[in-house]
Amino acid sequence: WILRLSAQYEHTGGRLDADSITTPPVKYKTTGTYLRQYDNIAVNPQIGRVFLSRKDLSFILFTGVDYTSKLEMGNRCDFKDQNGQKTSIGYSGGEPEVNDFRITGGVSLTAKRWGVDINYKHGLTNYNKYGADKVFSRIFQLRLQIAFLDKTI
């Protein structure tokens, strides 16, 4: 078994296809793309089971929790307006409404101090805190790691 604690900077985002624009007092059909991004610092303690351990190579299956502290967010919507002109609206530099708490799981392949992880993070916090619909994070992550501290208990 193995216990580990990691901290990381995350830049995550999402993309949706827009089919209409609503701005008081008008609503019209259009096509476009809505993009959003979040920057976070994440800390995640994990427990893992070592399934393969050779001289300098290990294969580990792990699970844990992940807490993200909000740093910054932004969004942008690119679309064609009623006159067919390309338009872009959005902002950046805002503070996200919520911090996220996520359940994590994944696999890790390590060689000496280096590792490659594939993670799935399942968010438990509703990002649409003030809206009617619920929005949760679902993230697949590929991560390159280096161990600064490696202690065997």
Annotate 72-86 with DSSP letters as a single string: EEEEEEEEE-TTS-E
Contact 51, 13 (CB under 8 A): no
| pTM of structure | 0.71
At 108-132, the pLDDT tens digits run 998 888 889 999 999 998 877 777 8
- E-strand ranges in the chain read 2-23, 26-53, 57-80, 86-94, 100-111, 114-123, 138-146
pLDDT tens digits, residue range 31-45? 888 888 888 899 989
